[in-house]
Amino acid sequence: MTEKLVIIGNGMAPGRMLEHLFERAPGRYAVTIFNAEPRVNYDRIMLSPVLSGEKDYEQIVIHGDGWYIKNGITLYKGHKVVSIDRTAKTVTSDQGTVAAYDKLVIATGSVPFILPVPGNNLPGVLSYRDLDDVNAMLLAAQSRAKAVVIGGGLLGLEAAAGLAARDMDVTVVHVMPTLMERQLDPAAGYMLQRELENRGIKIVTKAQTKAILGERRAEGVELADGRIISASLVVMAAGIKPNAWIAKEAGLATNRGILVDDGMHTSDPDIFALGECAEVGGHVYGLVAPLYEMARIVAARLSGDPSPRFVHNDTPTKLKVTGIDLFSLGDFADGEDRQEIVLRDAAAGVYKRLVLKDNRIIGTVLYGETTDGAWFNDLKKREVDITDMRDTLIFGQSYQGGVPLDPMAAVAALPDDAEICGCNGVCKGKIVSTIEAKGLTSLDDVRAHTKASASCGSCTGLVEQVMKLTLGDAYNPAAVQPMCGCTNLGHDDVRRLIKAKSLKTVYAVMQDLEWKTSCGCAKCRPALNYYLVCDWPGEYADDYQSRFINERVHANIQKDGTYSVVPRMWGGVTNSGELRAIADVVDKFNIPAVKVTGGQRIDMLGIKKEDLPAVWADLGKAGFVSGHAYAKGLRTVKTCVGTDWCRFGTQDSTGFGIRIEKFMWGSWTPAKVKMAVSGCPRNCAEATCKDVGVICVDSGYEIHFAGAAGLDIKGTEILGLVKTEDEALEVIVALVQMYREQARYLERIYKWAKRVGIDEIRRQCLDEAARRRAYFERFVHSQQFAQVDPWSERVSGLHKHEFRPMAAIGLASQAAE
């Protein structure tokens, strides 16, 4: 019979515990989880990248809803457990849910330490523990106002860097003389302070907070020396304490945390505690590696294996701020029985210090250059006598034994039990054996199967080197294709960094992302220009010199250097007045060819560049605007005649096509977007090979996307069926906006969809109403700046230099008139 396992808390430690448990004892327990937060298990280590904008929530989810369903877990989201009845063996939530247990795991984590100063409960005072805190900070950051972070430790500095990346004016107030004094010695603390100050973060050390000022909400922080720092956001990051009250209430033994033995049992044999709330051997822990170790032990005990015991180990600390390399491990205080080896390179911003006792490493601080961290950690853990390599020890592993700098050699030399991933406690041997046993070839596979580099990601380089060693040439780490020869970054990285770093001009991107050329090339400049147009509507000034000629002059260049012009005919519908105007233009400008296009438009070919403004002027008088037949943007919406005329039509396909086109024209997209609306499944508008298509049926509108009929031929995928035209419009707009925000430049919808996944797109654009709405609204916002007819602008004189020769020079005799 299955036993009942109840878990209080849904953080990373119990999540990992369950993964181990399901592997060791599948089906043994029926699991119920109470989560005080209204969501699934996500990676808290990654809150800082979410705050700075380098990642978003979806990217840090560890277990999606599907995982809970698959494993038969009952998850109560937003339920806080308020009592444990140890006699009846039940727990009760604040919403009145009662659950019985055979075994109970308490994983309530920690609570932030709130300074006992006046004003600490004012609105605008936040802690930094969970996604709600991050969301509240992001909201506050929108006002671009001032923020004070109290606490110059790991968490406080990550919060400060994240807020600064969101353009806030940030001051860090720290009570000790140097930053991160528990992990860094004063020299490294000083270098860190200088680096943060260079990034515009103000730092006040030796600062005791006296009060948070403000009437109805936080307005500033007052220090003990009388200084006042104004701020509308105050983040308390002064430390955490184990959240043990529920255990205390239930009469379990507690000290700072919930007391457990080295098998993670509390004083009640049926109750375990793990994670930040647990106290074992006099230690409480806040870093993920020991917490995952606890998870492994609880899972073993629950599956009936009494052997594993928790052993204290020093865990290296790293700061997760982009561009700051920092590593700290063990004990680095000075002492009579200790010696140190120090390397400083002020110009390169490098500081390394090893603390030795009895010829063994007991502590390490690395700043600016941390690649040898894993090696030093390994030497420390194995208590290696370093006497023989003492002279060159500080230069790192690659200098030992006379082998010159070859990172592969360094990794090859690591023993099998050398730890590669500190977060998840994965050693080199485990990675190698898993790659060989399961035939893994990609980094994602290795992450999925071993968890190595799956948490903070700072060991990714090492993991890749292990893969390369194991797989040889079969491993190709350059899976990320650089945008072009001007950078090593791929399109996705560039797009993310543009947002994260608020880069708002092509030249800011090139400077900040260290472009290798002075002003890019014909591949990257148009891509960057598009990304900026898309990401900063209304703020970014379109750089016409970075656009391909067709988009610069709003016509299609032909093989002889002439241009073709396609006026917009909404939904492919026209009338005698429009046709007459076109005919007149053709006569007046001697246009040599007129052709009907595949998208139901009329194309006039062979127009001289100098004539373009005059052609547009005449077309404009007849009411035509640009058909954007040249654009990486919305091209055409092809329609059939629908219920207006057709005896089979089920909906007004013509009207809907025109509506879509009038709503979406002028928008720039990563590649061209062609659409169609067919009035019935006979599909005369050929909607099932378009980027986006609609098939009208009696019951509503079937929305299709990701078709192709060019280099590739591909039928569309069905996104879903909606009942009304309004809904259909919202879904289509959301889909296009998602594509605009995520795709790589020149990547058509079908290629993007293949990469992202049809289900994911359906989830975001159809299933989740709030997200769909948000995409829709961002599109609408950007359209205010995009829906300007480029032809009429140029008829009115914009960029007139573009269309006329600068000068005409004749032979002296001819020119003398």
Partner 1 sequence: MQWIVIGTLTDIPQRGSRCIETPEGKVAVFRTGDDCVFAIDDRCPHKGGPLSQGIVHGASVTCPLHNWVISLESGKAQGADQGCVRTIPVKVEDGQLYIGLAQQAERAA
Partner residues linked to 732 by β-bridges? none
How many residues contact partner 1, by CB under 8 A? 33
Q: Is 810 in the site for partner 1 (CB under 8 A)?
A: yes
DSSP 31-53: EEEEESSSS-EE-GGGHHHHHHT
Q: Is 815 in the site for partner 1 (CB under 8 A)?
A: yes
Alpha-carbon distance of 419 to 408, in angstroms, equals 16
- For the CB of residue 758, give the shortest distance to partner 1 in the complex, in Å: 33
Edge to edge, the sheet with strand 169-173 lists 125-127, 233-236, 146-150, 169-173, 202-204
- Cβ nearer to partner 1, comparing 269 with 810: 810
Spell out, one character per residue from 462 to 501, where the chain touches partner 1: x when CB under 8 A holds, - when not.
----------------------------------------
- Cβ nearer to partner 1, comparing 187 with 557: 557
- Cβ nearer to partner 1, comparing 241 with 552: 552
Q: Is 816 in the site for partner 1 (CB under 8 A)?
A: yes
Angstrom CA distances, 155 to 109, 389, 793, stand at 16, 36, 52
- Cβ nearer to partner 1, comparing 487 with 546: 546
Other residues' Cβ atoms within 10 Å of the Cβ of residue 173: 25
By CB under 8 A, name the one of 422, 526, 572, 679 that touches partner 1. Answer: 526
Partner residues linked to 351 by β-bridges? 344, 367
- Cβ nearer to partner 1, comparing 437 with 809: 809
Non-local CB neighbours of 395 within 8 Å, separated by 6+ positions: 343
Spell out, one character per residue from 639 to 678, where the chain touches partner 1: x when CB under 8 A holds, - when not.
----------------------------------------
Alpha-carbon distance of 704 to 245, in angstroms, equals 54
Burial class (CB in 10 A: 0-12, 13-18, 19+), 223: middle
- For the CB of residue 485, give the shortest distance to partner 1 in the complex, in Å: 10
Angstrom CA distances, 632 to 292, 303, 543, stand at 48, 58, 15
By CB under 8 A, name the one of 100, 139, 480, 519 that touches partner 1. Answer: 519
Of the candidate spans 493-501, 513-521, 666-674, 705-713, the one that interacts with partner 1 by CB under 8 A turns out to be 513-521
Collapsed DSSP state (helix, strand, coil) of residue 549: helix
By CB under 8 A, name the one of 525, 659, 704, 748 that touches partner 1. Answer: 525
Q: Is 521 in the site for partner 1 (CB under 8 A)?
A: yes
Alpha-carbon distance of 212 to 185, in angstroms, equals 30
- For the CB of residue 530, give the shortest distance to partner 1 in the complex, in Å: 13
- For the CB of residue 804, give the shortest distance to partner 1 in the complex, in Å: 8
- For the CB of residue 814, give the shortest distance to partner 1 in the complex, in Å: 8
Q: Is 216 in the site for partner 1 (CB under 8 A)?
A: no
Would you give the distance in Å from CA 158 to the centre of its chain? Answer: 16
- For the CB of residue 521, give the shortest distance to partner 1 in the complex, in Å: 5
Structure tokens belonging to residue 396: 């790192």
Partner residues linked to 668 by β-bridges? 633
By CB under 8 A, name the one of 518, 575, 576, 770 that touches partner 1. Answer: 518
Q: Is 517 in the site for partner 1 (CB under 8 A)?
A: yes
Edge to edge, the sheet with strand 692-697 lists 634-639, 673-678, 692-697, 700-705, 717-722
Alpha-carbon distance of 462 to 464, in angstroms, equals 5
Spell out, one character per residue from 530 to 569, where the chain touches partner 1: x when CB under 8 A holds, - when not.
--------------xxxxxxx-xx---x-xxx--------
Q: Is 797 in the site for partner 1 (CB under 8 A)?
A: no
Q: What is the dihedral of CA 241, 242, 243, 248, to 10 degrees?
A: -120
Single out the residue of 438, 427, 321, 450 nearest to residue 377, CA to CA. Answer: 427
- For the CB of residue 805, give the shortest distance to partner 1 in the complex, in Å: 5
- For the CB of residue 817, give the shortest distance to partner 1 in the complex, in Å: 8
- Cβ nearer to partner 1, comparing 437 with 812: 812
- For the CB of residue 546, give the shortest distance to partner 1 in the complex, in Å: 7
- For the CB of residue 619, give the shortest distance to partner 1 in the complex, in Å: 22
Edge to edge, the sheet with strand 220-223 lists 209-213, 220-223, 228-230
By CB under 8 A, name the one of 348, 437, 474, 812 that touches partner 1. Answer: 812
Partner residues linked to 203 by β-bridges? 172
- For the CB of residue 509, give the shortest distance to partner 1 in the complex, in Å: 14
Q: Is 711 in the site for partner 1 (CB under 8 A)?
A: no
- Cβ nearer to partner 1, comparing 96 with 805: 805
Q: Are 504 and 532 in contact (CB under 8 A)?
A: yes
Non-local CB neighbours of 284 within 8 Å, separated by 6+ positions: 242, 256, 257, 276, 278
- For the CB of residue 548, give the shortest distance to partner 1 in the complex, in Å: 7
- Cβ nearer to partner 1, comparing 544 with 648: 544
Structure tokens belonging to residue 305: 């294996």
By CB under 8 A, name the one of 457, 520, 567, 633 that touches partner 1. Answer: 520
Other residues' Cβ atoms within 10 Å of the Cβ of residue 59: 13
Spell out, one character per residue from 400 to 439, where the chain touches partner 1: x when CB under 8 A holds, - when not.
----------------------------------------
Q: Is 522 in the site for partner 1 (CB under 8 A)?
A: yes
- For the CB of residue 499, give the shortest distance to partner 1 in the complex, in Å: 25
Of the candidate spans 88-96, 153-161, 295-303, 517-525, the one that interacts with partner 1 by CB under 8 A turns out to be 517-525
Angstrom CA distances, 603 to 40, 457, 564, 600, stand at 54, 53, 7, 10
- Cβ nearer to partner 1, comparing 217 with 523: 523
What does the binding site for partner 1 look like in residue numbers (CB under 8 A)?
Answer: 517-522, 525-526, 544-550, 552-553, 557, 559-561, 801, 805-812, 814-816
